[in-house]
Amino acid sequence: MRIVYTNRRDGEKCVHLEIEAHEVAALVDGDPDHTARLGALLAEADRRLNPGRAAGEGAGE
């Protein structure tokens, strides 16, 4: 599971994650380690896409 890339050009904000099949299965099964890893990746994506936003604030569009 990893961030492939983050795009912030021309007002387009998106992150592309790569999640392998076994990781998807673990997430669906509620595996706490995989869930924590996904949460950490999403937090990193948020930092990249919304610099200066305090954690917990709504990012909006």
Segment 5-48, tens digit of pLDDT: 888 777 788 989 999 999 999 999 999 999 999 999 999 999 98
Confidence of residue 60 (pLDDT cuts 50, 70, 90): low
The closest alpha carbon to 17, from 29, 27, 9, 31, belongs to 27
What is the pLDDT, as a whole number, of residue 6? 83
What is the pLDDT, as a whole number, of residue 18? 96
Residues 16-31 as b or e (16 or more Cβ within 10 Å = b):
eeeeeeebeebeeeee
Which residue shows structure tokens 């990193």? Answer: 44
